Structure 1
């Protein structure tokens, strides 16, 4: 079976970066992927400034407690003061530029005001309570690399630099197709032996939350020719097609066969992964294709690993293997070794500690996903683990692209 890391790298390699980009204001870039590296235009702060409300002083080699200084000015944020001479101080407020000659700020709590002067109640050293020019960002430093997904933190950094627009790649357009004779859409009447399609709504919602444009490809019967025709049509309007069902190698599994009949290329994967051992990677025309297993939890896990890697490839970014947070198990674990396993899990409190309680690992059950806070990753070689053994916990909000 294919190791999970190799499968993730392979998926990313099937996707060519989207070439077109557009310029948007930073606030409108949130959720989008940068097309180019961004360098700092300014040092931040762009001048030495006070970190406290207090008094700007010339500390030099240091001022002792009891030193008396004449107050010669007042500097608010947004204003500039005049130069300080020996034995002088200026009232200053947080964020205001230190005046020429000043090299320290004394907190207002550390002085005693006596008319037009202040007396230091403790010693002050050069550089105290001053945020120097470039402390946060140096002019010309790299703020973000191409392929970075913009979030509110980066928006703030870009705005602080006065950057009015950034180049972002266009949003990937992803089509989602469910396959299976047994499937009917939500809201449709169930016939005998039929089930409602849960995968397509789940995947469409997931992709939209990741900032993708989506195409609802509907449901296609278990017929490779009909599936091939649908894939060909979807390939003309999508960068990525995600199918669910038929990803294995049985006689009723048509995902790879349909890709080939559509004139594309395909590779079937047998991954060392549970749930979700089978998957298909392919290409039809200009579109990548990811074939997922039909069981809902399997489809979700494989998409969160391989689908995420494909979206990274389309964005021109290196795929990031989810790392997870090491947290202790709430109860002992026994399992068969051989595959990395992702199990829906809930976080529970145990005194001051947070532990991971595993829920059902049945890949056809959706209820445990709703009850879970994320998934716990059990290494392939693990057969037994005592309560308290650390495992990698992946919160859903960190996995959903």
Structure 2
């Protein structure tokens, strides 16, 4: 008599591998298969998709929803936000997503973004002026972080005196101190209180800024609700700051680690646009896309994901897929990296992508112009990264010139 056993679920992939050595982890994942079981950002099991084609398709698949109401009972338990901050585009699917994105697009125009070009360069120059006499600096705190926070606050119309708090709040949400278990909740409360006051002030005294325009924007009889306004301001601040800090820091480190590529860019700074695309592919700021939930049983890469389960799309692994990017572990500023997914794909493509690109291009060129002898002021092994699979970013980047 013979018996058969039903195979159990695949073993969980250790997410710490994706933080410690994302390139090596991507190679192992691609060799093992296109879909894996992983301990997700909330510690619960999730499905991790790694192949470029599968990730790209999944980013636009309506069967993979962002709305947390599609999560299975007792499943996903991510960051809990109050309703006023939870009604944002990262938690929405059509038709709500379509309506809000259309309204936001009326205010967040290419013209408004282009108007920031000169202020961004001016801010970059002032930050570099402050560190130039010292011959060395910690580049994240002195340059990569204050530049985007200044730009986002200028865009929203936040007064200079309030900007330091914004950085502390966003840092607390991304990597809260384990010794302070209530830190993230405190940051959310502080941010909500501040945005409530700020919106009230903009209604009373509107100015030439994005937040005032979002309050005023309408489409026929439709306009943004109070919670939608609040959550949009939160999302623009949080995502706009976080991703750009890491993109600037990671790109700088990549260039310093590849001197021949750095020399080529110095010789021809007009290549900066294409260079930023490759740098975003090579070591982007978001290892994962925002989590999704299967609204029905979905087959991805030959694996069936049951309805209600959490799906994580690995942008980092997709960018190291040799079937899409030959020699993916090689930084090549001449590569056509235009298909990268660092800023999303499909209906959820990042609204702030043009601004993030502009900031990174300006930040890198200003830095390289100012310091022809820029060099890393530590061994690569000494550098520390944020202990999070949500964000790929350096805690510090010591440099000298």
Q: Which TM-score band applies after superposition, normalised by the shorter structure?
A: under 0.3
TM-score, L = length of structure 1? 0.23
Structure exhibiting the larger radius of gyration computed from Cα positions: 1
Greater relative contact order, per chain length (Cα 8 Å cut-off, separation 6+): 2
Q: Name the one with the larger strand percent.
A: 1
Q: Name the one with the larger helix percent.
A: 2
TM-score, L = length of structure 2? 0.23
